[in-house]
Each structure stands twice: as structure tokens, then as C-alpha cells.
């Protein structure tokens, strides 16, 4: 598929460019679904984050296909894939890299860490110490790594997909708010339905020895440079002032809503706008609608809203608060 490669990204995308982008993203979605069974919403939201040029935090218990999702996504655009298993003894140098003294040449050489890739899977990030998590912040925010005072840029597209187990699990620690805020979206992955789990078991066990992750059936749709074209096209979609105002009103409502200990800041408004543009591009539209804002509101804001302790005791989470806000905040008429 070549349509996405032709996008210039120099301005608002034309109708043919929009059609090509929507077709490309639909093809990527279909290819990922060949490996990841029954997680359509998760696939959709992860693709939206890629188009928006943001990072994703995926939360779910072990064994639900988080690693498989990242590997399948990387294969759809022929991107490089790196994985870091976060553990309590992981050091910042294990993430970013370090310098070594070569006895043969009597010179220092730089050994680059696994962050030098297109898609980085930070597996079980909430098991790592704070200093190692902090080492990932510069990479996520600046798109570069500093080793011994030298800044080394990462080749775009670059995206971190971090996974975490629910904080109730043993050996896990809540991520600091500053780190959570660096993720464009927080995606929740849940157990598959009965039918999807049945199809998954059949696929994994038929004619295959062991349970290794298999993405052989996933085809490459585009090249990495085409992903950059998709990102530029999304950034230039029209965002009507009334729709933008609606998005900002949703975020501002989280700061004054009854039962919220801490609401989303301006970065939440930015994430909501970027995500809504990505949703619109995936639908092949040249403009953002209120429904695009609603569609991405939960993953864009759930990790930025902290319920009051009394609500948490009663079992209320960020999603229930956000759903109540979405019902209350009036959307502009189209």
C-alpha cells in the first residue's frame, strides 16, 4: 500500500490523502487483529496514539497479549522493536546505554541502549526504581538520550508502549504523576470474551509447539517514513473553535468535579486534542467532531484524574467520574 507514502504533510490533507490515510490505518488495524484476538478497542486506541505521536501506558494483568500487540504494531510499518523488562535492580544505563573504555583502541566507545528503536516496550514499568523511571522521561519527552553529556537523537517515529500490572499486584508501585502525565493515553486491556478466548486458544495451539508469540501472519503495510506522513496529516486536520472549546471544558471540569482530589492539567487538554485529531484521521475526515473528542476522552484523561479517597473506597475509578463529566458537559451542535 503506497497511498500514505505520498502525503506531504505540508498543510491540510487533501481528499485523496485522507482516503489513503484511512485505508492505510484500516489495513494496519486488520493486520494487528490477525495476531491480537478480540481487543479491537485496545488496537484502535494504540493506533490513535501512534498517529498522534504520543506514548501509551497499557494496564492489564499478565498474559493478555500486551507484548504481542507491540510486536504486531511494529511489523505493520516495518519498524524496529525493542523491549526492556523492568525489574527492581534495573539501572538507567540498562535503558539508555553507557560508555565503555576499549583497551584495544584506548578510546571510549558508546554502547547504545534498547531505547534506540521505533517502538519500545517498557514491560512492567511500575516494578522499576524511581531513578530508572526518570531516565525514561527525557527519552519520552525530548526524543533523545544524553550519555556522558552528549545528546543522541532518536530516529522518528519513536513511541514508548509501557505496560503495568494493576497496582494491587504484589511488587508494584504507583507511577509518579509526572511520569504518568508523559503518556498521551492510558489503555486498559481486559480478559477476552468467551468466543475470543476460544479463537485465541485454537490459533495458538493448532500446529504450533510451545506458546511463543507469533506475528508471522502480520504483513507490513507501510514504511516508517509513511507513519511520519500520517502524523503530519493528523496534526493539520481542522479543529473547529467550538469543538476545541468543548474539549477544554471537559478537562477543566475534572478540576472542580465533586469527588476529584486532582484533575487534569493543560497537558490533558493537549492530549485530548491530539487524540481526537488522530481519531478523525482514522475515520478519513478532514475535521474533528465532538464524537471524536468523546471517543478518546477516557484513555486521554483516566490517568490524569485522581478520585478522592472516599470515592476510591467505594470502588469509584477515574472512568466513572469521566463518564459522568461527559454526560454533564454539553457538546456543541454540529
pLDDT for residue 9: 41
Peptide bond preceding 241 in cis form (omega within 30 of 0)? no
pLDDT for residue 276: 97
- 10 and 109 in a single domain? The answer is yes
- 114 and 260 in a single domain? The answer is no
- 262 and 173 in a single domain? The answer is no
The pLDDT profile of the chain, 334 residues, written as one tens digit per residue, is 444 444 444 478 888 899 999 999 999 999 998 888 888 899 999 999 999 999 999 988 776 678 888 889 999 998 888 899 988 888 888 888 888 877 777 777 788 888 999 999 998 888 888 888 888 877 888 888 888 778 889 989 999 999 887 755 555 666 777 788 889 999 988 887 788 778 777 777 776 655 556 777 889 999 999 999 999 999 999 999 999 999 999 999 999 988 888 889 999 999 999 999 999 999 999 999 999 999 999 999 999 988 887 766 666 677 888 999 999 999 998 6
* Contact by Cβ (8 Å): 68, 60: no
- 118 and 250 in a single domain? The answer is no
Q: Give pTM, 2 decimals.
A: 0.87
- 254 and 132 in a single domain? The answer is no
- 192 and 281 in a single domain? The answer is no
pLDDT for residue 68: 85
pLDDT for residue 92: 87
Query: Can you state the percent helix, strand and coil of the chain, rounding each to 5?
Result: 50, 15, 35
Per DSSP, 252 falls in state: H
Q: Give the domain-ending residue among 183, 207, 236.
A: 236
Cα separation, 220 vs 136, whole angstroms: 28
If you write DSSP's letter for every residue of 2-59 in order, what string do you get?
A: -GGGG---SSSPPHHHHHHHHHHHHHHHHHHHHHS-S-HHHHHHHHHHHHHT--EEEE
Three-class secondary structure of residue 128 per DSSP = coil
pLDDT for residue 6: 43
Q: Give the domain-ending residue among 236, 267, 301.
A: 236
The total domain count for the chain is 2
CATH number, position 148: 3.40.50.300
Cα separation, 324 vs 76, whole angstroms: 37
pLDDT for residue 39: 86
Range of the domain at 259: 237-334
Task: Show the cell assigned to 288.
Answer: 474533528
CATH number, position 303: 1.10.8.80
Q: Give the domain-ending residue among 178, 209, 236.
A: 236
Closest listed residue to residue 79, CA positions, set 137, 124, 28: 28
Closest listed residue to residue 236, CA positions, set 39, 95, 35, 51: 51
Amino acid at each position: 500500500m503506497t497511498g500514505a507514502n505520498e502525503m506531504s504533510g505540508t498543510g491540510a490533507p487533501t481528499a485523496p490523502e485522507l482516503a489513503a490515510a484511512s485505508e492505510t490505518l484500516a489495513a494496519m488495524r486488520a493486520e494487528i487483529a490477525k495476531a491480537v484476538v478480540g481487543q479491537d478497542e485496545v488496537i484502535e486506541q494504540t493506533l490513535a496514539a501512534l498517529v498522534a505521536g504520543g506514548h501509551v501506558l497499557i494496564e492489564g494483568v499478565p498474559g493478555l497479549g500486551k507484548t504481542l500487540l507491540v510486536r504486531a504494531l511494529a511489523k505493520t510499518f516495518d519498524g524496529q522493536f525493542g523491549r526492556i523488562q523492568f525489574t527492581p535492580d534495573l539501572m538507567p544505563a540498562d535503558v539508555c546505554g553507557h560508555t565503555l573504555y576499549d583497551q584495544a583502541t584506548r578510546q571510549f566507545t558508546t554502547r547504545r541502549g534498547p531505547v534506540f528503536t521505533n517502538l519500545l516496550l517498557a514491560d512492567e514499568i511500575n516494578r522499576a526504581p524511581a531513578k530508572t523511571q526518570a531516565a525514561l522521561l527525557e527519552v519520552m519527552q525530548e526524543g533523545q538520550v544524553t550519555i556522558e553529556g552528549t545528546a543522541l537523537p532518536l530516529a522518528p517515529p519513536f513511541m514508548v508502549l509501557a505496560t503495568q500490572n494493576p497496582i494491587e499486584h504484589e511488587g508494584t508501585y504507583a507511577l509518579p504523576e509526572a511520569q504518568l502525565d508523559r503518556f498521551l493515553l492510558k489503555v486498559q486491556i481486559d480478559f477476552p470474551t468467551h468466543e475470543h478466548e476460544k479463537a485465541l486458544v485454537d490459533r495458538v495451539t493448532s500446529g504450533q509447539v510451545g506458546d511463543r508469540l507469533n506475528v508471522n501472519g502480520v504483513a507490513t503495510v507501510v514504511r516508517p517514513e509513511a507513519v511520519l506522513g500520517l502524523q503530519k496529516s493528523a496534526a493539520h486536520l481542522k479543529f473547529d473553535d467550538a469543538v476545541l472549546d468543548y474539549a477544554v471544558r471537559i478537562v477543566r471540569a475534572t478540576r472542580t468535579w465533586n469527588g476529584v482530589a486532582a484533575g487534569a492539567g493543560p497537558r490533558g487538554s493537549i492530549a485530548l486534542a491530539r487524540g481526537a485529531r488522530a481519531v478523525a484521521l482514522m475515520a478519513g475526515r478532514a475535521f474533528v467532531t465532538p464524537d471524536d473528542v468523546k471517543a478518546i476522552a477516557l484513555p486521554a484523561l483516566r490517568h490524569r484524574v485522581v478520585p478522592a479517597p472516599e470515592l476510591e473506597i467505594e470502588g469509584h475509578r477515574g472512568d466513572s467520574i469521566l463518564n459522568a463529566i461527559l454526560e454533564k458537559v454539553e457538546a456543541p451542535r454540529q
